[in-house]
Amino acid sequence: MNDISTAIEYLSSDAVQGLPFSEVVRVGNTYYVSGQLGRDASGKLAPGGIAAETRQTMENIKATLERYGLSMDDVVKATVFMADIGEWAEMNKVYVTYFRNHLPARSALGASGLALGARVEIECIAAKA
């Protein structure tokens, strides 16, 4: 019987230093990416509404994946949390532009509040063959 604990790796970069979670957890060839907000390099939420915040969130996901040798093509599942589910259509217009070769499985739901007053948070699962 294999000990699964030997195949688990908790990964973090300076981007999440001091935060109470791992940036990515790798289990074998599957990567669980913690939820990302639309924060820019200064740590502030991107101004300009849900579209701008979604774009920054997706850029943050893309950068996180790239740090670990992955790309958006490796994403197989995403979960989208929104402060106002009524903004779904605007969020979705930006979201789909990040997946040129396939659309991952996805869940989207409204939340009563997100960290830092964000309008959107997206987490994903990626798999590397």
Query: What letters, b where the CB count within 10 A reaches 16 and e where it falls short, cover 94-113?
Result: bbeebeeeeebebebeeeee
Residue with tokens 């009524």: 86
Class of domain 4-127: alpha beta
pTM: 0.91
Measured CA to CA in angstroms, residue 41 lies from 46, 66, 84, 121 at distances of 10, 17, 25, 17
Tell which residue, 45, 102, 34, has the closest CA to residue 71.
102
pLDDT given at position 12:
82
pLDDT, one tens digit for every residue, the chain (129 residues): 455 556 899 888 777 677 678 899 999 999 999 999 999 989 899 999 999 999 999 999 999 999 999 999 999 999 999 999 999 999 999 999 999 999 999 999 999 999 999 999 999 999 998
